[in-house]
Amino acid sequence: MTQTPRSPTSLPPEPVSLRQAFWFWLKLGFISFGGPAGQISIMHHELVEQRRWISERRFLHALNYCMVLPGPEAQQLVTYIGWLMHKRWGGVVAGALFVLPSLLILIGLSWIYLAFGELPLVAGLFYGIKPAVTAIVVQAAHRIGSKALKNNVLWAIAAASFVAIFALNLPFPLIVGAAALVGYVGGRWSPHTFQIGGGHGASHTSSGPALIDDHTPTPEHARFSWRGLAHVGVVGAVLWAVPMGVLCAVFGWEHTFTQMAWFFTKAALLTFGGAYAVLPYVYQGAVERFGWVTPTHMMDGLALGETTPGPLIMVVAFVAFVGGYLKALLGPESLFAAGALAACLVTWFTFLPSFIFILAGGPLVESTHRNLSFTAPLTAITAAVVGVILNLALFFGYHLLWPEGFASEATQAFASCRWEAALCAGFDWRSALIATGAAVALFKYKRSVMQVIGVCALVGLAVKTMPL
Residue 92 lies in a domain: yes
Query: How far, rounded to the nearest angstrom, does the alpha carbon of residue 422 sit from its chain's CA centroid?
Result: 34
Is pLDDT at 418 greater than 70 in this prediction? no
Q: Are both 444 and 354 inside the same structural domain?
A: no
Rounded to whole angstroms, how far apart are CA atoms 464 and 342?
A: 32
* Predicted local confidence at residue 33, as pLDDT: 63
| Residues 455 and 388 occupy one common structural domain | no
Instruction: Identify whether 318 is part of a domain.
Output: yes
Q: Is residue 10 part of a domain?
A: no
Domain shared by 340 and 452, yes or no: no
What stretch of H or E contains 42? helix 35-43
Q: In this structure, is residue 13 part of a structural domain?
A: no
In a domain, 206, yes or no: no
pLDDT digits (tens, 9 = 90+) for 187-207: 888 887 876 544 444 444 456
Query: Model confidence over 237-273: pLDDT tens digits?
Result: 999 999 999 999 999 999 999 999 999 999 888 766 5
pLDDT at residue 37, rounded to an integer: 63
| Whether residue 439 sits in one domain with residue 378 | no
Q: Do 318 and 409 fall into the same domain?
A: no
Instruction: Please report the pLDDT score of residue 7 as a whole number.
Output: 46
- Co-location of 299 and 371 in the same domain: yes
- How far, in Å, CA of 242 to CA of 234, rounded? 12
Same domain? For 349 and 437 the reply is no
Q: Which residue has the higher pLDDT, 357 or 401?
A: 357
Residue 287 resides in a domain: yes
Instruction: Give the SS3 label for residue 371.
Output: coil
Q: What does R_g of the chain's alpha carbons equal in angstroms? A: 23
Q: State which of 393, 422, 442 marks the end of a domain.
A: 393
pLDDT digits 0-9 by tens, 308-339: 778 878 889 999 999 999 999 999 999 999 99
Last residue of a domain, one of 369, 393, 417: 393
In a domain, 409, yes or no: yes
* Structural domain boundaries, residue 442: 402-465
Instruction: Please provide the distance, in angstroms rounded to a whole number, between the alpha carbons at the two ends of the chain.
Output: 78
Query: Is the predicted pLDDT of residue 208 greater than 50, yes or no?
Result: yes
Residues 112 and 239 in one domain: yes
| 203 part of a folded domain | no
Task: Indicate the number of domains in the chain.
Answer: 2
Mean pLDDT of 288-308: 82
Domain boundary among 393, 411, 443: 393
What is the maximum alpha-carbon separation in the chain? 89
Quick one: 290 and 415 in the same domain?
A: no
Measured CA to CA, the distance from residue 380 to residue 175 in angstroms comes to 11
Q: Based on the fold, state whether residues 115 and 165 are members of the same structural domain.
A: yes
> Both 75 and 38 in a single domain?
yes
Q: What is the pLDDT of residues 32-66, one digit of tens each?
A: 765 676 677 778 888 888 888 998 888 877 887 88
Q: What is the pLDDT of residues 374-406, one digit of tens each?
A: 667 877 877 887 887 788 778 778 777 777 665
155 and 230 both lie in a single domain: yes
